[in-house]
Structure 1
Amino acid sequence: MSLALLFRTVTREFAKVNISQHAQSIHIGCELLAAEKALLIKLRKSTGYTFINCKKALEKFDNDIAQAETWLNEQAQKEGWSKANKLEGRKAKEGLIGLFVGDKVAVMVEVNCETDFVARNENFQQLVKDVTFATLAHHRSKTQSQTGYVKSVLAGDDLNKLSVGEGTSLADQVALTIGRLGENMSVKRAVTVGVPADWHIGSYIHGGVSGQTEVAMGRYGALVVFQGGKEGEQDTLGRKLGQHIVGEAPLFLGNMDDLSCGESETRLLPQTFLADPSRTVAQFLRGQQARVLDFVRFQCGESVSEEAH
Structure 2
Amino acid sequence: MSGTALDIPLQIDTAVDAVPLRSVDELVDVIREGLAAGYCGELEVHDRKDAAARVCIDRGRLAWVHCSTHGEHLGDVLRRECGLSPAHLRLVMTRCRATGERFGESLAALGLVSMCALREALRAHLAAHSAHVMALGEGLRASFHPVEHRYDRRLTFAFDDLPWRAPDPASSPIVVATRASELVHACERARETREAPLWVGFVDLRDGGCLAESHAEGLDGSAIQRAVLRDAHAIVSAASPRGADREIEAVLHGSGVAVGLRVFLTSNVTAALIASASARDAEVSIVLHSLAQAARHWQAAQAGARSVGA
TM-score, normalising length: structure 2: 0.27
Higher Rg of the two aligned structures = 1
Higher relative contact order (CA 8 A, sep 6+): 2
TM-score, normalising length: structure 1: 0.27
